Amino acid sequence: MKRLLIFLCTLFGVYVTSCKQSSSKGIIKVVSPKVVRALLAENTVQLVDVRTPKEFNEGHIEGAKNIDFFSDTFDSEIKKFDKTKSIILYCKSGYRSAKSSKKLRHAGFTEIYDLEGGITKWKKKGFEVKFK
Protein backbone atom coordinates (compact mmCIF):
# COMPACT_ATOMS: atom_id res chain seq x y z
CA MET A 1 0.00 0.00 0.00
CA LYS A 2 2.84 2.36 0.89
CA ARG A 3 4.57 1.63 -2.43
CA LEU A 4 1.36 2.34 -4.32
CA LEU A 5 0.98 5.68 -2.56
CA ILE A 6 4.60 6.62 -3.32
CA PHE A 7 4.14 5.59 -6.94
CA LEU A 8 0.96 7.65 -7.31
CA CYS A 9 2.59 10.70 -5.69
CA THR A 10 5.59 10.39 -7.99
CA LEU A 11 3.35 9.98 -11.03
CA PHE A 12 1.36 13.07 -10.02
CA GLY A 13 4.58 15.07 -9.56
CA VAL A 14 5.85 14.07 -12.99
CA TYR A 15 2.48 14.98 -14.53
CA VAL A 16 2.40 18.44 -12.90
CA THR A 17 6.01 19.14 -13.84
CA SER A 18 5.57 18.03 -17.45
CA CYS A 19 2.41 20.12 -17.84
CA LYS A 20 4.18 23.17 -16.52
CA GLN A 21 7.09 22.65 -18.91
CA SER A 22 4.77 22.04 -21.84
CA SER A 23 2.85 25.26 -21.33
CA SER A 24 6.05 27.27 -21.22
CA LYS A 25 6.89 25.91 -24.67
CA GLY A 26 3.63 27.09 -26.18
CA ILE A 27 1.55 23.94 -26.11
CA ILE A 28 -1.97 24.42 -27.41
CA LYS A 29 -4.73 23.45 -24.99
CA VAL A 30 -8.11 22.56 -26.45
CA VAL A 31 -10.64 23.50 -23.77
CA SER A 32 -14.39 23.25 -23.28
CA PRO A 33 -16.76 26.23 -23.37
CA LYS A 34 -17.08 25.97 -19.59
CA VAL A 35 -13.31 26.36 -19.16
CA VAL A 36 -13.25 29.30 -21.60
CA ARG A 37 -16.01 31.01 -19.64
CA ALA A 38 -14.00 30.56 -16.43
CA LEU A 39 -10.85 31.95 -18.09
CA LEU A 40 -12.79 34.95 -19.38
CA ALA A 41 -14.11 35.63 -15.88
CA GLU A 42 -10.52 36.09 -14.71
CA ASN A 43 -10.30 39.07 -17.09
CA THR A 44 -6.63 38.40 -17.89
CA VAL A 45 -6.92 36.63 -21.25
CA GLN A 46 -7.00 37.82 -24.83
CA LEU A 47 -9.92 36.52 -26.90
CA VAL A 48 -9.71 36.21 -30.69
CA ASP A 49 -12.46 35.16 -33.10
CA VAL A 50 -10.80 33.94 -36.31
CA ARG A 51 -13.98 33.75 -38.38
CA THR A 52 -14.87 36.12 -41.22
CA PRO A 53 -16.27 39.57 -40.35
CA LYS A 54 -19.69 38.44 -41.64
CA GLU A 55 -19.68 35.44 -39.28
CA PHE A 56 -18.45 37.63 -36.41
CA ASN A 57 -21.32 40.09 -36.93
CA GLU A 58 -23.81 37.22 -36.80
CA GLY A 59 -22.83 36.59 -33.17
CA HIS A 60 -19.61 36.45 -31.18
CA ILE A 61 -18.37 36.01 -27.64
CA GLU A 62 -18.32 39.30 -25.76
CA GLY A 63 -14.90 40.94 -25.73
CA ALA A 64 -13.59 39.04 -28.76
CA LYS A 65 -11.41 40.74 -31.35
CA ASN A 66 -12.06 39.62 -34.91
CA ILE A 67 -9.09 38.62 -37.07
CA ASP A 68 -10.13 36.70 -40.16
CA PHE A 69 -7.99 33.59 -40.56
CA PHE A 70 -8.30 33.87 -44.34
CA SER A 71 -7.20 37.51 -44.41
CA ASP A 72 -3.86 38.47 -45.96
CA THR A 73 -3.17 40.49 -42.80
CA PHE A 74 -3.79 37.66 -40.31
CA ASP A 75 -0.11 37.16 -39.45
CA SER A 76 0.57 40.86 -38.94
CA GLU A 77 -2.66 41.43 -36.97
CA ILE A 78 -1.98 38.57 -34.58
CA LYS A 79 1.45 40.03 -33.75
CA LYS A 80 -0.32 43.00 -32.10
CA PHE A 81 -1.33 40.76 -29.20
CA ASP A 82 0.82 40.24 -26.10
CA LYS A 83 2.75 36.97 -26.48
CA THR A 84 3.26 36.70 -22.72
CA LYS A 85 -0.49 36.73 -21.91
CA SER A 86 -2.92 33.85 -22.32
CA ILE A 87 -4.86 33.89 -25.58
CA ILE A 88 -8.07 32.07 -26.48
CA LEU A 89 -8.95 31.38 -30.11
CA TYR A 90 -12.22 30.22 -31.58
CA CYS A 91 -13.99 29.87 -34.91
CA LYS A 92 -17.21 28.18 -35.99
CA SER A 93 -16.31 24.57 -35.19
CA GLY A 94 -12.59 24.34 -34.40
CA TYR A 95 -10.78 23.89 -37.72
CA ARG A 96 -9.61 27.48 -38.28
CA SER A 97 -8.81 28.04 -34.62
CA ALA A 98 -6.66 24.89 -34.60
CA LYS A 99 -4.73 26.18 -37.63
CA SER A 100 -4.48 29.64 -36.03
CA SER A 101 -3.23 28.13 -32.76
CA LYS A 102 -0.33 26.52 -34.59
CA LYS A 103 0.56 29.84 -36.20
CA LEU A 104 0.54 31.54 -32.79
CA ARG A 105 2.70 28.84 -31.27
CA HIS A 106 5.26 29.33 -34.04
CA ALA A 107 5.04 33.10 -33.53
CA GLY A 108 6.12 32.68 -29.90
CA PHE A 109 2.88 32.75 -27.92
CA THR A 110 3.28 30.71 -24.75
CA GLU A 111 -0.24 30.03 -23.45
CA ILE A 112 -2.75 29.22 -26.18
CA TYR A 113 -6.29 27.97 -25.63
CA ASP A 114 -8.49 26.70 -28.46
CA LEU A 115 -12.25 26.60 -27.81
CA GLU A 116 -13.36 23.01 -28.40
CA GLY A 117 -16.16 22.90 -30.97
CA GLY A 118 -15.95 26.63 -31.61
CA ILE A 119 -18.82 29.04 -31.19
CA THR A 120 -21.19 26.30 -32.32
CA LYS A 121 -20.53 24.32 -29.13
CA TRP A 122 -20.46 27.55 -27.09
CA LYS A 123 -24.03 28.37 -28.19
CA LYS A 124 -25.14 24.74 -27.82
CA LYS A 125 -24.09 24.91 -24.16
CA GLY A 126 -26.36 27.95 -23.78
CA PHE A 127 -23.64 30.57 -23.37
CA GLU A 128 -24.40 34.10 -24.53
CA VAL A 129 -23.27 35.69 -27.78
CA LYS A 130 -23.21 39.37 -28.72
CA PHE A 131 -24.23 40.89 -32.03
CA LYS A 132 -22.70 43.88 -33.78
Known catalytic residues? 91
- Tell me which amino acid residue 42 is: E
62 contacts 91 by C-beta, under 8 angstroms: no
* Residues in contact with 4: Cβ distance below 8 Å, sequence separation at least 6, in sequence order: none
Q: What is residue 116's three-state secondary structure?
A: coil
Q: Which are the contacts of 18, defined by CB distance < 8 A and separation ≥ 6?
A: none
Closest CA to 85 of 54, 106, 112: 112
